[in-house]
Amino acid sequence: MKAIINYIKEVVGGVKTLINGMKVTGYYISHPKEIITQQYPENRDTLNMVDRFRGEVIMPHDENNEHACTGCQACEIACPNGTIEIIQDRILNEETGKKKKTILKHVYHLSMCTMCNLCIEACPTDAIEMGKGFEHAVFDRSQLTKVLNKPGSKLRAGVEE
């Protein structure tokens, strides 16, 4: 007899919880705010991602193919799983006669990235940022390794190491 009473109490409690949840759902249905659901892939051309979306790490270049990366390796050190790899060399600066650190390749392994944003926060010159791209389905994992600095790019004037 006790088991039946406990069972009925649990069923009644479950129905109360269900009704309470349906009240919340009913409220949001009757008071529509902003529609945030995107009809992907139908709206691929007009797709607008939210500002705080973290898609992939990118290195913006200006119209002169210049970037702000000094090769300090702060992003590489801050990355918890080795997603970023900076290959650099010291090249003789003809103006000063001293060797200056220059990046040859800024390699980004998207397949290992957790989108944690720690590399962006660590960069002292804001040379890298999180992009909005999210379509990264490939058959070959090696295609997820990207070189962020464009060929022939150089350090923007006025960026200090």
CATH number at residue 101: 3.30.70.3270
Give the residue carrying structure tokens 């009913």.
26
Q: Tens digits of per-residue pLDDT, 85-104?
A: 999 888 887 778 888 888 89
Whether 4 is in a domain gets the answer no
Burial (Cβ within 10 Å: 0-12, 13-18, ≥19) of residue 10: exposed
Q: For residue 107, what pLDDT is reported?
A: 95
Q: For residue 161, what pLDDT is reported?
A: 62
What domain count does the chain have?
Answer: 1
Q: How much is the pTM?
A: 0.71
- Whole domain around residue 65: which residue ranges? 57-154
Whether 83 is in a domain gets the answer yes
Whether 82 is in a domain gets the answer yes
Which positions of the chain have pLDDT values less than 70? Answer: 35, 161
Whether 126 is in a domain gets the answer yes
Residue 75: alpha-carbon gap to chain centroid = 14
The CA distances from residue 111 to 59, 68, 135, 145, in Å, are 17, 25, 13, 7
Angstrom distance (rounded) from CA 95 to CA 86:
25
Q: What are the two backbone dihedrals, phi and then psi, of residue 14, each rounded to the nearest 5 degrees? A: -65, -40
- Are 77 and 119 contacting, i.e. CB atoms less than 8 angstroms apart? no
Q: For residue 84, what pLDDT is reported?
A: 95
Burial (Cβ within 10 Å: 0-12, 13-18, ≥19) of residue 120: middle
Q: What are the two backbone dihedrals, phi and then psi, of residue 110, each rounded to the nearest 5 degrees? A: -65, -30
Angstrom distance (rounded) from CA 141 to CA 109:
10
Whether 118 is in a domain gets the answer yes
- Are 26 and 116 contacting, i.e. CB atoms less than 8 angstroms apart? no
Whether 81 is in a domain gets the answer yes
Biggest CA–CA distance in the chain, Å, is 95
Whether 15 is in a domain gets the answer no
Whether 62 is in a domain gets the answer yes
